[in-house]
Structure 1
Amino acid sequence: MHLLQRFRRVVWGEPPNSKEEKTLLLKIDWFILSYCCLMYFTNYLDRSNVSNAYVSGMREELNMKGNQFNKINTIFTCGYIVGMIPNNLMLQVVPPRIWFPLMQITWGVLTFCTSAVKNIQQVYGIRFLQGMAESSTFVGTHYILGSWYKPTELGKRSGLFTSSGLAGTLFSGVLQAAVYRHLNGHGGRSGWRWLFIIDGIITLPIALYGFIVFPDVPATTKAFYITKQERTLASERLESDTERHNLSWRLVRRVLGRWRWYACSLLFAVSGETESFGSNNLMGQWLKAIGGYTVEQIDNYPSGMTAFAIVSTLVCATWTDHTGARWPVLVYMSIALIISSICILVWSSPTGLKFFAYYLAGASYAGQATTFAWANQICADDQQERGVVLASMNMWNNVVNAWWPLVFYPATDAPKFRKGMIAMLGTCVATLAVTWMVWYLEKREHRINGAHHDLFRTQGDMLKDNHETTDHSSNSHTDTVEVNAAVP
């Protein structure tokens, strides 16, 4: 039994302090994680289907040339950047239980529209709008998770959330292979067009589920399954170390006057680019360029990278919550990507080693959940700053990602992607450096805050001692006077 309890602590964290808290945690785990994970699953399913469609006939049918595939991803990223701030503002006006599903319906309908495109320009327009709609999901969900979960509970929940998106990527490749095999040409439609139709069909029911069950944040939740006492408990268990501020221009000074916004934004702007192998489907482009593989194999084989990404994310998220240290995950990720880049950069290496290198590159996704859990932890004492920092991290990563693939991973560089491999080596070294900087700054802040706390406590003890000494002296003087008065 003791071993079972220890395993439970490692996998799911410290048990709640009371039966009421345990019940609350079970509820929010089920309803928040179920919808957020399903939403992010469809987010990545509808996002990654273009990569699978590209190597499954879309390139030929739309007569795509040069770097047009990279431009699709860049235009999507531009839409993502444009939509990020409006979406975050809307979450302050419209309840998340309404806004999240509404945006999910929007990108689901746009996914349907992609199945009917006649030229690449139509794809560009749809992907821009889809990026705007999908930008509501990632940062918004991390903000919601940080509003319900303690720091010791956050890493593994963030890991599950990230893994659900990876599962969408994994499922998209498998689904495209199955669709191509069974539906290619059916009803006069190509297999890649059927993929978008099926993805849209999967997306819409999950949005309806969100309208029903998503609970918003503790202060405003009206979920039918959370009692009044549980709403109070949900707020109380997180508010002890949280500063509360009114929304004002002081927020700008507070955010820009601290190191957190700068360091956390830089960390994900740099480390997020380690995901380039997967986000640009380099393995699929490599297999298609060297030839000798069927469409189904080109769709299926890159799934090994995604599978390893899911395992890495879940294991690292569990480990980092258990130990309380976030930085080792980023070190692991960087070292794995350095090995992968070298194996691919040495082009004379055997094909089997290149397969290993691409699969190992899945480790890059482990850093995503850990980085945002780390930022949630760093900014846990200021809710407004936390929201700004999380949004900024994602924004700056996408600002870099808008041009990064065009420069370092153009489709015309397949199959070698030599520039990309060299860029990845530089990215990993930079990630290690920024990780050390964030670790150092966090430790320094804790040390300074601890020193201030000790100083205040010492001053309080001194005042207390002085007060007791004064009282004691006063009592002694009174006793002396009384004794003297009794002497004849």
Structure 2
Amino acid sequence: MPSTKKDDVFPAPPSPIPVHRFPKKGSTCTVTTASTSRSEEGEDDSDGTITWTEAEEKKLVRKLDWCFLPTVWLMALMSWMDRSSIGNAQLAGMGLDLDLSDDQYSMVIVVFYFGYVTCGPLSNLILSRTRPRLYLPILVGCWGLLTLSMAFVTNYTNLLMLRFSVGVFESGLSPATIFLISCWYRPDEQGKRISATLSAALLGGAFGGIISGSAAAWLEGVNHIRGWKWLFGIEGVFTIVWATISYWLMVDFPGSESTAKRFGERGRQIAVGRVKKEGVLLGRLDGEGSLTDAVERLGKAKSIRVALSDWRVWTITVGVGLLGCSTVLAYFYPILIFEMGFESITQTQFMTIPIWIMAVISAVLVGYFADSFPLRRSLMMGACMGSAAVFSSLVCVIQSPHARYGLLFFMAGGVWSSIALYLSLLAVTFSDMHPEARAFALALPGAVGNLGNVYGAYLFPGSDMPEYFMGFGVIAGTLGAGAVLFFVFHLLLRKRRLLGVDE
């Protein structure tokens, strides 16, 4: 292997990194693709420079949107349905059948995150060395099979083992989706795509309510099978079927051979050139489509060290850790609503649906709006977390069940808008990293954020019903602290001009 300089392995990002816009209709873009050039295979022009028109780029993005986004959208939908349905199953009689105490139910929630937190960042390192088209369907199929198996559990121990295993396999989906979006889309295109995929996760909560309500109302006792067992069985089968179909729809990295087969050789050139123009480091791709550096791989240990040496990674990770506590509400919505005085279990299951719809609308709108201000996403995130903290505080002091139910809507809007913003903030902030280090950096905040669910699972014990002062108070405090942190982060980014763009 030829000797390399430090600047060859870690090339400095162009200054400034542009937030790309075509200056006028019909214009062309030109970019030198030396670092990813494969001229011996005919990928680029002889001088490593390619030129394309606005119409060509729009056509490529449209094709990509139609194959990539629906695939990961349904994957995310299945993921959230499978993980959050534990709350619906608990209300539908799982706790009684398995004789679960409050502490045991909390542990069932927590054990999922033991697997989720530890395996998420490592999963992205594996993804960077394999084919997304193969890797992601395998993950989805495995957790679908495990979810289906939960319909047959007969005791607490088996339920714990299955929940932990589901967390291991589900951990790879969200960071992989963000990593792929950062490789395929420009910074001013990422927010709306990320919010679109997040909307699937949120709609998974709504569909979970629909399926759970239907199971409780119409499938309870059919063939002598409890409704909560039907719930896990239906969700598991749907997930396995989609995992099989998704293999034919998923894309690999932009410069891969499969990209040339799907979008044409010209499409592969444009896919690589248009993100390279934004300062995104892609690297070379081997013949099978896995990602490598332009000169050499970093290796897993060095990738982790590079990511952890960046103060931006730590700041966002702490902020998302503070945000993560509030997402535990997803597991308690059915129980909280039921104990507010709405006594019908079926009605309670269906009453979770409007909350998730509110979360979807808020996340999608904020995601689309954020693409117009890609360098102010941290500021917008602080505002959303701050508003959610205010509404959580109000839940602590207002006793009317109907008013508290209404406040859950506004809390959901603020929390899940913040999630959409942080995911797109990651993709923009770390675009100048080596791709293997970026894979780890994109996954770490989400892993730490999900640790919030570990202690959050114990914030709503049955002894605190129906006020739950401790739970809503802690969530208000963590959201408020996170809002302050992201306001400061915005000022630091602006001062140091780390993104290289004038605001």
TM band (smaller chain) = 0.7 to 0.9
- Look up the match of 1:395: 447
Paired residue type of 2:206: L
Mapped to 2, the partners of 1:15 and 1:336 lie a distance apart of 40
- Look up the match of 1:470: none
Mapped to 1, the partners of 2:63 and 2:264 lie a distance apart of 11
Matched position secondary structure for 1:56: helix
Structure 1 stretches of 4+ with a deviation exceeding 6 A read none
- Look up the match of 1:334: 385
Q: Which residue of 322, 325, 340 maps to 1:273?
A: 325
Q: Which residue of 277, 280, 292 maps to 1:242?
A: 280
* 2:225 maps to 1:225: no
Per mean C-alpha deviation after superposition, the further-off stretch among 324-333 and 95-104 is: 324-333
Mapped to 2, the partners of 1:370 and 1:146 lie a distance apart of 14
Mapped to 2, the partners of 1:447 and 1:217 lie a distance apart of 26
Mapped to 2, the partners of 1:86 and 1:448 lie a distance apart of 26
Alignment of 1:29-108 (within 5 A): 29-108=65-144
Asked if structure 1 preserves the Cα contact closer than 8 Å seen for 2:384 and 2:417, the reply is: yes
Paired residue type of 1:280: Y
Per mean C-alpha deviation after superposition, the further-off stretch among 284-293 and 43-52 is: 284-293
Asked if structure 1 preserves the Cα contact closer than 8 Å seen for 2:81 and 2:207, the reply is: yes
Mapped to 1, the partners of 2:341 and 2:98 lie a distance apart of 21
Task: Please list the CA deviations of residues 108-139 of structure 1 after superposition, one character each: whole Å capped at 9, or x if unmatched.
Answer: 11111111111121111100000001011010
- Look up the match of 2:402: 352
Mapped to 2, the partners of 1:287 and 1:447 lie a distance apart of 45
Mapped to 1, the partners of 2:151 and 2:408 lie a distance apart of 30
Residue 418 of structure 1, CA deviation: 1.1
* 2:165 maps to 1:129: yes
Paired residue type of 1:360: F
Per mean C-alpha deviation after superposition, the further-off stretch among 146-155 and 325-334 is: 325-334
Mapped to 1, the partners of 2:68 and 2:243 lie a distance apart of 13
Alignment CA distance shift 1:289-1:253 (3 Å) = closer
- Look up the match of 1:167: 203
- Look up the match of 2:478: 427
Paired residue type of 2:65: D
Percent of residue pairs bearing the same amino acid type? 22
Matched position secondary structure for 1:133: helix
Residue 290 of structure 1, CA deviation: 4.7
- Look up the match of 2:421: 370
Mapped to 2, the partners of 1:384 and 1:418 lie a distance apart of 43
Per mean C-alpha deviation after superposition, the further-off stretch among 289-298 and 258-267 is: 289-298
- Choose 1 or 2 for highest CA Rg: 1
- Look up the match of 1:467: none
Residue 177 of structure 1, CA deviation: 0.6
Residue 416 of structure 1, CA deviation: 1.9
- Look up the match of 1:289: 339
* 2:364 maps to 1:314: yes
Asked if structure 2 preserves the Cα contact closer than 8 Å seen for 1:265 and 1:389, the reply is: no
Per mean C-alpha deviation after superposition, the further-off stretch among 331-340 and 94-103 is: 331-340
- Look up the match of 2:21: none
Residue 259 of structure 1, CA deviation: 1.8
Mapped to 1, the partners of 2:118 and 2:305 lie a distance apart of 24
State the TM-score, normalized to the length of structure 1: 0.84
Alignment CA distance shift 1:94-1:356 (3 Å) = same
- Look up the match of 2:314: 262
Unaligned runs of 5+ in 1: 1-13, 452-488
Residue 449 of structure 1, CA deviation: 5.5
Task: Please list the CA deviations of residues 423-472 of structure 1 after superposition, one character each: whole Å capped at 9, or x if unmatched.
Answer: 12211221111111221221122179579xxxxxxxxxxxxxxxxxxxxx
Matched position secondary structure for 2:280: coil
Mapped to 2, the partners of 1:250 and 1:181 lie a distance apart of 54
Asked if structure 2 preserves the Cα contact closer than 8 Å seen for 1:88 and 1:136, the reply is: yes
RMSD: 2.2
Mapped to 2, the partners of 1:446 and 1:289 lie a distance apart of 49
- Look up the match of 1:469: none
Alignment CA distance shift 1:440-1:110 (3 Å) = same
State the TM-score, normalized to the length of structure 2: 0.82
Residue 252 of structure 1, CA deviation: 5.1
Asked if structure 1 preserves the Cα contact closer than 8 Å seen for 2:328 and 2:457, the reply is: yes
Asked if structure 2 preserves the Cα contact closer than 8 Å seen for 1:309 and 1:366, the reply is: yes
Asked if structure 2 preserves the Cα contact closer than 8 Å seen for 1:155 and 1:373, the reply is: yes
Asked if structure 2 preserves the Cα contact closer than 8 Å seen for 1:260 and 1:389, the reply is: no
Mapped to 2, the partners of 1:15 and 1:416 lie a distance apart of 58
Q: Which residue of 457, 461, 468 maps to 1:417?
A: 468
Asked if structure 2 preserves the Cα contact closer than 8 Å seen for 1:145 and 1:154, the reply is: yes
Residue 292 of structure 1, CA deviation: 4.7
Per mean C-alpha deviation after superposition, the further-off stretch among 31-40 and 435-444 is: 435-444
Alignment CA distance shift 1:402-1:396 (3 Å) = same
Asked if structure 2 preserves the Cα contact closer than 8 Å seen for 1:31 and 1:213, the reply is: yes
Asked if structure 2 preserves the Cα contact closer than 8 Å seen for 1:32 and 1:214, the reply is: yes
* 2:180 maps to 1:144: yes
Paired residue type of 1:215: V
Residue 309 of structure 1, CA deviation: 0.3
Asked if structure 1 preserves the Cα contact closer than 8 Å seen for 2:385 and 2:418, the reply is: no
Asked if structure 2 preserves the Cα contact closer than 8 Å seen for 1:331 and 1:432, the reply is: yes
Per mean C-alpha deviation after superposition, the further-off stretch among 385-394 and 81-90 is: 81-90
Task: Please list the CA deviations of residues 119-178 of structure 1 after superposition, one character each: whole Å capped at 9, or x if unmatched.
Answer: 121111100000001011010110001110000000000000100011111101011111
Mapped to 1, the partners of 2:118 and 2:327 lie a distance apart of 21
Mapped to 2, the partners of 1:332 and 1:61 lie a distance apart of 44
Residue 251 of structure 1, CA deviation: 4.5
Alignment of 1:455-466 (within 5 A): none
Number of aligned residue pairs: give it: 434
Paired residue type of 1:233: I
Unaligned runs of 5+ in 2: 1-23, 27-52, 284-292
- Look up the match of 2:221: 185
Per mean C-alpha deviation after superposition, the further-off stretch among 202-211 and 381-390 is: 381-390
Mapped to 1, the partners of 2:230 and 2:462 lie a distance apart of 24
Residue 411 of structure 1, CA deviation: 4.5
Per mean C-alpha deviation after superposition, the further-off stretch among 81-90 and 134-143 is: 81-90
- Look up the match of 1:301: 351
